[in-house]
């Protein structure tokens, strides 16, 4: 049960962003009326029109074409759909010979999707969380000796650290080797400008609940090249025969509304980065020995990942939660597990610091009062920890 004496402070937007009021309104409206988008009657045609409107909005926000967008149940399904065993390139179907993924990917990519585990190779990260481009090039050259086509899957921005990859450089290396590039843009979408053509991706994954839309909707976006992949779910003609099953119209309509509300203007990005950096300054004042992960790399403007020697992430997250403040230890999908973050481990972070990795992520509902509450509570938590340490020494 949530604390009732004071407003909770939610600083875990990378896990899920609170649904925007404007989105809630259109979702409720969509749920209040009937209409299967595959039906030819008035209700069905009306639902179809709204779904296609959402598709157009997302295409506009991602520099893609509406015909290249497939709605899914979320980012995980879109990732698994993209990580396929066969790819059609210029009218010719080819087997995927191997899958290359970075060592810091989301679990849905690390597992390989539809690709056999024996065909998966992991690209190392450097100490600042960037993909090792030389290692990628070498792996692709080795893969060229095997019949088939190489598939590479890279996160645009990491969900734990917020580190942004040089996807355009990665795309050039992959395409020079004749490979196909899938980009998991779930965390980047809505936080930084995103254009599939500019970054050079062949496929790109999006998720609704990361941008203030409802859960239960995502999308796989295809670039403008002559590339196709098989349907993951078969049995119906929905989504232009690429994803069977009645569309989740309310969630898709809400997804479109949330996408329409995205603001990645320079001013908006500067505002949230200023909030994040102000929080960082206060954090370093209280905990001068804090380690900021990926601080020398380009990062999402809303994300702060840090460790403080001697403070366990799990302990801190629970203590903050009891005070009505929500942050994360690692990613939401793995925060229930005991152990160091695999992302930080891939960056060469020591086991103790990786085990203490915490993430604060801001969003549309974050206020300066929220950050003040966090700083006050963090100060109290650190003082308590220092007192315990002094007692143990005595």
Please tell me the predicted confidence (pLDDT) of residue 340.
Answer: 77
Q: Could you report the per-residue pLDDT of 292-337, keeping only the tens digit for each?
A: 999 999 999 999 999 999 999 999 999 999 999 999 996 555 545 5
Q: Same structural domain for residues 342 and 213?
A: no
Whether 197 and 339 share a structural domain: no
For residue 156, the number of C-alpha atoms closer than 13 Å in the C-beta half-sphere is 25
Same domain assignment for residues 281 and 226: no
On whether both 237 and 279 belong to a single domain, the answer is: no
Mean pLDDT of 7-35: 96
Dump strand ranges (E) for 115-258. Answer: 120-123, 149-155, 180-184, 203-207, 218-222, 227-228
Q: Are residues 170 and 249 in the same domain?
A: yes
Same-domain status, 201 and 277: no
pLDDT bracket for residue 88 (50, 70, 90): very high
Are residue 156 and residue 235 in the same domain, yes or no? yes
The residue among 260, 279, 303 that closes a domain is: 260
CATH number reported for the structural domain that contains residue 164 in this entry: 3.40.640.10
Count: domains in the chain: 2
Residues 71 and 172 in one domain: yes
Per-residue pLDDT of 114-139, as tens digits, reads: 999 999 999 999 999 999 999 999 99
pLDDT tens digits, 258-292: 999 999 999 999 999 999 999 999 999 999 999 99
pLDDT at 391: 60
Listed residue (245, 261, 142) closest to 212, CA to CA: 261
| Mean pLDDT, rounded, of the chain | 92
In a domain, 186, yes or no: yes
Structural domain includes residue 38? yes
Q: Are both 101 and 194 inside the same structural domain?
A: yes
CATH number for the domain including 296? 3.90.1150.10
**What percent of the chain has a predicted confidence (pLDDT) above 90?**
85
- For tokens 């990628």, the residue is 136
Domain contains 253 = yes
Secondary structure E strands in 223-302: 227-228, 291-292
State the pLDDT confidence band at 224, using cuts at 50, 70 and 90.
Answer: confident
Positions marked active-site: 333
Q: Establish if 1 belongs to a structural domain.
A: no
Question: Is a pLDDT exceeding 80 seen at residue 91?
Answer: yes
Q: Residue 72 above 60 pLDDT? A: yes
pLDDT digits (tens, 9 = 90+) for 239-262: 988 999 999 999 999 999 999 999
What tokens does 219 get? 């999308």
Structural domain containing residue 313: 9-18+263-393
Residues 90, 198 share a domain:
yes
pLDDT digits (tens, 9 = 90+) for 186-207: 999 999 999 999 999 999 999 9
Boundary residue ending a domain (243, 260, 277): 260
The string of pLDDT tens digits covering residues 335-394 is 455 467 899 999 999 999 999 999 999 999 999 999 999 999 999 999 987 666 656 544
**Domain boundary residue among 195, 229, 260?**
260
Q: Which residues of 197-232 are buried (b: 16+ CB within 10 A; e: fewer)?
A: eebbbbbbbbbbbbbbbbbbbbbbbbbeeeeebebb
**Same structural domain for residues 80 and 168?**
yes
């Amino acid at each position: 049960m949530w604390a009732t004496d004071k407003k909770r402070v939610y600083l875990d937007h990378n896990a899920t962003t609170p649904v925007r009021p404007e989105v809630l309104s259109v979702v409720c409206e969509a749920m209040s009326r009937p209409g299967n988008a595959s039906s030819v009657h008035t209700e069905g045609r009306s639902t179809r029109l709204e779904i296609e409107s959402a598709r157009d909005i997302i295409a506009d926000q991602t520099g893609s074409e509406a015909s290249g967008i497939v709605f899914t149940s979320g980012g995980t399904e879109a990732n698994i759909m993209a990580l396929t065993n066969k790819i059609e390139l210029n009218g010719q179907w080819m087997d995927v010979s191997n899958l290359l993924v970075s060592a810091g990917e989301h679990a849905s990519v690390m597992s390989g999707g539809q690709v056999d585990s024996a065909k998966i190779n992991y690209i190392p990260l450097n100490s600042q969380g960037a993909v090792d481009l030389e290692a990628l090039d070498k792996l692709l050259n080795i893969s060229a000796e095997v019949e088939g086509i190489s598939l590479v899957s890279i996160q645009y921005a990491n969900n734990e650290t917020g580190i942004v990859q040089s996807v355009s450089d990665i795309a050039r290396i992959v395409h020079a080797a004749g490979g196909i590039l899938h980009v998991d843009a779930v965390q980047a979408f809505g936080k930084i400008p995103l254009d599939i053509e500019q970054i050079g991706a062949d496929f790109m994954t999006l998720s609704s609940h990361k941008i203030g839309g409802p859960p239960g909707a995502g999308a796989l976006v295809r670039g403008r090249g002559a590339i196709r992949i098989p349907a993951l779910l078969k049995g119906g003609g929905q989504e232009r025969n690429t994803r069977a099953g009645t569309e989740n119209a309310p969630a898709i309509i809400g997804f479109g509304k949330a996408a329409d509300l995205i603001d990645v203007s320079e001013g908006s990005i500067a505002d949230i980065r200023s909030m994040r950096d102000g929080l960082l300054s206060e954090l370093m004042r209280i905990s001068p020995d804090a380690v900021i992960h990926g601080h020398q790399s380009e990062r999402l403007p809303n994300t702060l990942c840090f460790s403080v020697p001697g403070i366990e992430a799990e302990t801190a997250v629970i203590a903050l939660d009891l005070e009505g403040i929500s942050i994360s230890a690692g990613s939401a999908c793995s925060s229930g597990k005991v152990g160091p973050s695999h992302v930080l481990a891939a960056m060469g972070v020591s086991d103790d610091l990786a085990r203490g990795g915490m993430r604060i992520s801001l969003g549309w509902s974050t206020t300066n009062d929220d950050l003040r509450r966090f700083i006050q509570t963090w100060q109290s938590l650190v003082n308590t920890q220092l007192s315990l340490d002094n007692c143990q020494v005595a």
